[in-house]
Structure 1
Amino acid sequence: MVEILKPADKKQLSKWIGGGSSKQFELLFKATRDGCAANVFHAKCDNKGPTVTVFYNTVDCIFGGYTSMNWLSVTTYNYDEKAFLFRLQLKGAPEYKKYPVKVFNNASYSNATYGPTFGAGHDIYSFNGTLAKTGNYYASNGGVTLGQTYNMLGDTAATFHAENIQYTDIEVYKVIDGGLCLEKPWRPIPGLNMKTLMSEVEKYSPVDAVSIDYVNILLIGAVGAGKSSYFNTINSIFRGHVTSQACSGSAEHSLTTVYRVYKIRSQETGFPLKFRLCDTRGLEEAQGMDSADLLAILDGHLPDRYQFNPSMPVSPEVTGYKKNPTLQDKIHVIAFVMDGCSVDVFPEKILTNIKATQQKANQRGIPQVVLLTKVDRVCQEVEQDLSQVFYSQAVQDLVDEVSQLVGLPRAHILPVKNYEREMELDQDVNIPALLSVRQMLRFADDYLYNFVDES
């Protein structure tokens, strides 16, 4: 059984806990997995340092408590100025709220026969002894008596947990500063080898059943997400040194003002590889990509270096407009480029633009992926050693969160780090980037096979 706590909930808890660094959450105890018994809770959770306890009840409320002190099997109240209770969900609706401790010396209560308990008046008293499951829940023999030790900020039992202590599950997480690296990679990549990956990409050719020379991958993303930098990164790998052919950097508005169809050339032969990275204007909250411009790109009407005009959408009358585009001209894969550091505050308007693009792409059968950039900044371990990207719990959680946000399978969420401060190539940067290209080329072939089948 997997944990229930969502990545967004973990991020919120991390902010509440504070301390100047992101937190990771290691699942120690889970009632439905380990049994709802006090002795099991103490065996798994005693002397583990700071923990978060989360309760899930039968009316879809999620609430709990944090303590920075150890759980113990001796009977004692624990002094803790940092403790707090929290609410994450009320009757199925996300309702984040933190309730600070007001009586420090009674923040939590340890007892060998008790499950996790907060407050002198048993503000949250989880259970005593062992609970048997009744249907799909555990009927608690404890209770919730709010306001004794924690400031409930005007909330009552009705608005905290809907007065329900029938628990579908109880989880206890160890709180860890910085990143948590897993023993096994969350995305196993057998035989991971840069030389092999480069060879696969260099030798790629579109499926034989269609008469096209290369496939087109369209990069779409918010200003500053790293679209142009992604092209520069892939270009650098195959040029053999760090390049900056596409304009990239920080700016209030998109640095890309024209539609560009970039070629990647082999260092050995100098010939272009059989895919193109197509760059377009960055998405902005104030002005999304014009629907007519987007359709013209997807359907292959726009020429390379087409200059966008914000006051006038594309039309068949513009210079270079392809009135009768072929399969070669069309977009075969869309890559949404998203900044991994800003997923939790992703602008609603830009997400709406992405969803609208997805709808048009789905109508055309165009596969989609997310290039999740700047993943080195979401985890200290990955920042120090990029080879840990597929072992990082933080990156895995971020991939899960983005998958839910955009409605794509997790295998379509591709974490990468673009070349930015580096002046020399780094294998640990190259491998995730090459994996992303390889996956997109495989999806492009899926699009082409569907075209063949329809024909």
Structure 2
Amino acid sequence: MKFVVIKTKVGLLEKFAELQRTDNIFETDRDKLQLSSWFGKECHFKLLYKISRDGGSPQTFHNLCDNKGPTVTIFYNTDNNVYGGYLSDSWRNGPAEPWREPPVWKSKTLDSLKEFIRSFQPKEELNVPEVNILLVGQVGAGKSSVVNTINSVWKGEISSRSWAGSSEHSLTTSFTKFRISDPSTGTYLKFRLCDMRGLEETMDVKSEDIAFLLDGNLPNKYKFNPAARATKDTPGFIKEPTMKDMIHTVVFVIDGSNVEVMPDGIIKKLKDIKEMLIERDVPLLVLVTKIDKVCSDVDKDVEEVFFSNAVKKTVDKVSDIIAIPRSHVLPVKNYEKERTLQNNICILAMEALKQALLFCQDFLENQS
């Protein structure tokens, strides 16, 4: 039996027919015209895979056929009979069902998420005008890129509010509280993304500084000193912080592409911070970044994220390392190589932000 897969750009194929056995896609133009007539429009076919040419390896099949859009499959047997079928979705080398319910990848979904975030408002009686979300992660994990990605979604263009890139040590050296504006209203949204120095095994942030951050003692623009912790004599130190100064949710940002080789010292630091959060009843959310480097299918199409076994395993691994529910671990893709905004990247970012705001709301309700 010979087996070929060809790519087509048309809709539903309702009939199958006998085709001539051939080393090309079709032996004559008649066969191509016959298929086109069943589709109801002229079709342009491209040969993707042929078992006599490419071999019978499942891996080869998926390498050549995955994420190519609708395809027609044709089987030739030794009796010169021909069978075929049409697949309206792309082939994919992964579970038939998503490992987590994916969003609807439409503009309406993004608009709905942005409307929720736009209308988010902390309770007035708590005197908290905007919630504080602290981003914590290893150097290079993408903390600052999370800030830039979220700001880009609202700005409508690729933006750079915070330094991002590769470096031996953290590019972020100060505690910075970023406000994000909504161009449609001309006002700031009711949250601040708080960036801090990246975690390192050597030039690390002092545990005392992190405790001061959580409790609201350290001022905006406080510059971290790896050699010495902050004290009550530090310029701008807030001796009697109120609820509005505190951190309301912490987000760990973890590089999904190096989870397996994350240094023990970084893991210990994250677990130590988690213990501080438990003591203060501060919620914890985890963002897994660089999912495009975890899975080549996701690199080609971000919408494959919840069908990717590799991403699922990474989320499970992070959940096990941090010891939190998997539902609190969200895969995201930061803007890095892209020059224009993409709905799927924006939707993942806004879903993560929405969850962080809901966690902030939980924290504030526990204080009332």
TM tier, shorter chain? 0.7 to 0.9
Q: What residue is the counterpart of 1:337 in the other structure?
A: 253
Q: Secondary structure at the match of 1:390?
A: helix
Q: Deviations over 1:383-441 (max 9, x none)?
A: 11111112222211211111001101001101001011111111111011111001111
CA contact (8 A) 1:179 1:379 kept: no
CA contact (8 A) 2:206 2:228 kept: no
Mapped to 2, the partners of 1:428 and 1:304 lie a distance apart of 33
Q: What residue is the counterpart of 1:197 in the other structure?
A: 113
Q: Secondary structure at the match of 2:161?
A: coil
Mapped to 2, the partners of 1:267 and 1:422 lie a distance apart of 22
Between 1 and 2, higher relative CO (CA 8 Å, sep ≥ 6) is seen in 2
CA contact (8 A) 1:220 1:280 kept: yes
Q: What residue is the counterpart of 2:37 in the other structure?
A: none
Q: Secondary structure at the match of 1:206?
A: coil
Q: Deviations over 1:296-342 (max 9, x none)?
A: 10000111111122222101111111101000000011111100000
CA contact (8 A) 2:290 2:334 kept: yes
Q: What residue is the counterpart of 2:223 in the other structure?
A: 307
CA contact (8 A) 2:292 2:333 kept: yes
**What are the within-5 Å matches in structure 2 for residues 40-119 of structure 1?**
none
CA contact (8 A) 2:332 2:345 kept: yes
The structural deviation recorded for 1:369 is: 1.1
Q: Flag structure 1 segments of 5+ consecutive residues without an equivalent.
A: 1-47, 52-177
The structural deviation recorded for 1:210 is: 2.2
Q: What residue is the counterpart of 1:230 in the other structure?
A: 146
CA contact (8 A) 2:138 2:253 kept: yes
**What are the within-5 Å matches in structure 2 for residues 50-449 of structure 1?**
180-189=93-102, 193-449=109-365
The structural deviation recorded for 1:270 is: 2.6
User: As a proportion of its length, which structure holds more helix?
Assistant: 2
CA contact (8 A) 1:341 1:374 kept: yes
Q: Secondary structure at the match of 1:428?
A: helix
User: As a proportion of its length, which structure holds more strand?
Assistant: 1
Mapped to 2, the partners of 1:390 and 1:210 lie a distance apart of 38
The AA in structure 2 aligned to 1:187 is: R
CA contact (8 A) 2:205 2:226 kept: no
Mapped to 1, the partners of 2:195 and 2:232 lie a distance apart of 21
Q: Deviations over 1:18-76 (max 9, x none)?
A: xxxxxxxxxxxxxxxxxxxxxxxxxxxxxx9689xxxxxxxxxxxxxxxxxxxxxxxxx
The AA in structure 1 aligned to 2:229 is: P
Mapped to 2, the partners of 1:259 and 1:179 lie a distance apart of 43
The alignment's TM-score, normalised by the length of structure 1, stands at 0.59
Q: Secondary structure at the match of 1:411?
A: helix
Mapped to 2, the partners of 1:221 and 1:180 lie a distance apart of 31
Mapped to 1, the partners of 2:237 and 2:102 lie a distance apart of 42
CA contact (8 A) 1:181 1:388 kept: no
Mapped to 2, the partners of 1:240 and 1:368 lie a distance apart of 28
The alignment's TM-score, normalised by the length of structure 2, stands at 0.73
Mapped to 1, the partners of 2:117 and 2:313 lie a distance apart of 28
Q: What residue is the counterpart of 1:79 in the other structure?
A: none
CA contact (8 A) 1:283 1:289 kept: yes
Q: Secondary structure at the match of 2:112?
A: helix
Distance 1:191 1:429, change over 3 A: closer
Q: Secondary structure at the match of 1:257?
A: coil
Mapped to 1, the partners of 2:263 and 2:228 lie a distance apart of 25
The structural deviation recorded for 1:265 is: 0.8
Mapped to 2, the partners of 1:344 and 1:319 lie a distance apart of 40
Q: Flag structure 2 segments of 5+ consecutive residues without an equivalent.
A: 1-55, 60-90
CA contact (8 A) 1:179 1:393 kept: no
Mapped to 2, the partners of 1:184 and 1:395 lie a distance apart of 14
What is the total number of aligned residue pairs between the two structures?
Answer: 281
